Structure 1
Amino acid sequence: MWAELRAHGPLGPMHPADAEDVAAVARETMRRAARHVDRIAEALPSLGISGRPGLPPRRRPDAVERAEVDALAAEIGGLPAALEACLREIGHTWFAGDYSALRIGCPHGAPVQGGPPGPAYPDPLCLPDAARLRWEWDLRTADPERRAEEQGFVFDFAPDEYHKAGVSGAAHTIVLPDRRADPVLRGVAGRPGVTLVEYLRASVAWGGFPGWEFGAEPVPDALRALRAVPDF
C-alpha cells in the first residue's frame, strides 16, 4: 500500500473519502509501529540505560496533543499523512543514551571513532511530539527574515546520528508543507531518499537502533532480542 501511495508523488486535492482512506492507512501503520516502539521502550531499562535526565524513552500522545496536531496541520498548510499519524499515534520517543548491554555510548567522554552509518553511531530511534513541532513552527513564524530565506519550513524531526551519540551534528529533517503521503526524511546517514515509514521499518527491524544495519561486527545478543520483522 505505501509503495502505491509513494508512487503517486504529491497528492493533489482529494475527495474526502479518498483522503480518509489515506489517513486510515497511516493511522493503522503508526498504531502497529507504536506497539513495537512500546515493546522496545519497556526493555531498555534492562540494558543498563543511561539516557537524558528527566526525559523518558516514551510518552504517548493524549487528547490535548492530538488537538494540537489538528491546529498545526491547519496553520502549516497540511501535514503528510504518515507524519500526522506518527504525531498522533506514537509521539515522543527518545532511545538515545548509553546502553552497556548494547556496547553503545562513549565511556568517560572518549571520542567516537569514524562516522555514521554504523554501530559506532547506532542511530537510536528518536521521534518528535506535537509540542516539538509547535515550538519550531512558532520560532519560524515569529522570524520574518527566516520566513523569507527558507524554501518551505524545515522541521528538525530528530537529531542526526552524531547528536544522538553526544557529538555535535545536525538533524534529520522534513520539509513542510508536503503533500506526499509518506515524506522523505532528509539527512539520514546511509539512507538517501528514505521516507518516514521506511525509516520506522528499519528501526523496528534493528530493535530501535538501525545504524547497526551497516555494521560488519556481530550483533549483541541484547539487540538481537529487540529486533522484529515489521508488520506495517
Structure 2
Amino acid sequence: MDFLARYRAGEREQVWAELVALGAAVREPPLYQDAQAVACEIMLRARYNIALLVERLQQLDFVFVVGAQGAWNPCTARELKLLASIEQRRGPLPIVLRAWVEMIGNVDLRGSHPTLSNYYSLGHATTRGPNSDPLVLGMVPYELSQLPCIDRKQQIFLLEVAPDSCHKSNYSGGGDSYMRIPSAGFDAPFGSDDWWDGMCLIPYLRECFAWGGFPGLRDDPAAAEAAREELAFLTQGLLPI
C-alpha cells in the first residue's frame, strides 16, 4: 500500500514519521510523487479546518486584528514569485511547507476574545482574554536579498514564517519563528523562541487544531478551563491531519 493510501486509511502519524525519516531521499522518484500527494491531502484537511475555525470564531464575536476577511488569504502572485526565486537560488523548502504556501497561504488568528485570546490594542468589552499564542503562519514579505543568512559558507538561510507569541499579543518579545533552508525533506523543525522550537510543521498544526487555533492555552490550565465550551465548539468535527 502506498503512503497516500495508508494516510487516508488512518496511518497519519506513522506515514508522516516514515516520510520525515527518509530525509532528502523523499525527493527521489517514485517516492516524490507519493510524498507530494500526502502533503496535498494534509493541506486539504488543514484548509477545511482553517475555514471552519474562521467561520466559528466569527460566530463567537471574535475580534480579528486583520478582520475576518484577512484571517485567511492565499498567497499573492508576488509571494508565489518570491517563493519560486527562493527555491531556485537558495534551495528547496520542506515539501509540506511548500504545499501550505501553495494551497493555504497566510493564516492570522490574532485577535481578542474574553476567553480565547488577547491583543493589547484591541481589548474586548471589559475583559482581556489570555495570551494564547494563536495560529499565525505564512510568507513574511521581503525581497530575496533580505533573506537572513546564518552560514555563508554552507549557504544556510532563514525563512521567517510567524511572529513569536508575545508579538502575537502585541507586546515586545523575541524574534520571528523560522525554518532553515535549503531543506529537502518532507517536513522540518521550526526555530523559535516559543514552546514549538524544534517542532515540525505538521505536529505543530495538529497541536493548533487540537486547541481550536489557540495552542498556547495548553500551558494555561485556568484559561483552558474558562474556554472549555468555546474550545469544544471550535474543535468539533475538525479533520485529523
Q: TM-score range by the shorter chain?
A: 0.7 to 0.9
Name whichever of 119-128 and 11-20 sits farther off.
Answer: 11-20
> Is 1:126 aligned to residue 136 of structure 2?
yes
Mapped to 1, the partners of 2:83 and 2:134 lie a distance apart of: 24
- 1:172 maps to 177
Q: Which residue of 2 aligns with 1:46?
A: 59
1:6 maps to what in 2?
Answer: 20
Show CA shifts across 1:150-198 (max 9, x none). 9611111100101101111222111111122111012163334210000
* 1:230–1:212 CA distance, 2 compared to 1 (3 A): farther
Cα distance change on mapping 1:155 and 1:67 into 2, 3 Å: closer
Percent identity, aligned pairs only?
28
Deviation at 1:137, TM superposition (A): 3.0
Q: Does the 8 Å contact 2:112/2:119 carry over to 1? A: yes
Q: How many residues align?
A: 216
User: 1:72-114: per-residue Cα shift (whole Å, max 9, x none)?
Assistant: 32232111101100101111111011123535344788xxxxx
Q: Structure 1 residues 69 and 191, CA, compared in 2 at 3 Å: closer, same or farther?
A: closer
Superposition TM-score, scaled by structure 2 size:
0.76
**How far apart, CA to CA, are the structure 2 residues paired with 1:103 and 1:150?**
40
Structure 1 residue runs without a partner (length 5+):
110-118
- Among 136, 139, 151, the alignment partner of 2:146 is 139
Provide the TM-score with structure 1 as the length reference. 0.79
Deviates more, 1:217-226 or 1:205-214: 217-226
Pair 1:13–1:205, CA change in 2 (3 A): closer
Among residues 56, 70, 73, which one is paired with 2:70 in the alignment?
56
**Greater relative CO, 1 or 2 (CA 8 Å, sep 6+):** 1
Task: Work out whether residues 117 and 134 of structure 2, in 8 Å CA contact, stay in contact via their aligned partners in 1.
Answer: no
Given that 2:112 and 2:122 are in contact with CA atoms closer than 8 Å, whether structure 1 keeps it comes out as no
2:41 to 6, 25, 28: 28
- Provide structure 2 residue ranges, at least 5 long, that are not aligned to the other structure: 1-14, 124-128
Q: Distance in 1 between matches of 2:64 and 2:159?
A: 24
Determine helix, strand or coil for the equivalent of 1:178.
Answer: coil
CA RMSD, 1 decimal: 3.0
The amino acid across from 1:73 in the alignment is E
Using the alignment, how far apart are the partners of 1:12 and 1:82 within structure 2? 15
1:114 aligned partner: none
- Which residue in the other structure is 1:186 paired with? 191
Distance 1:180 1:146, change over 3 A: closer
Q: What is residue 206 of structure 1 aligned with on the other side?
A: 211
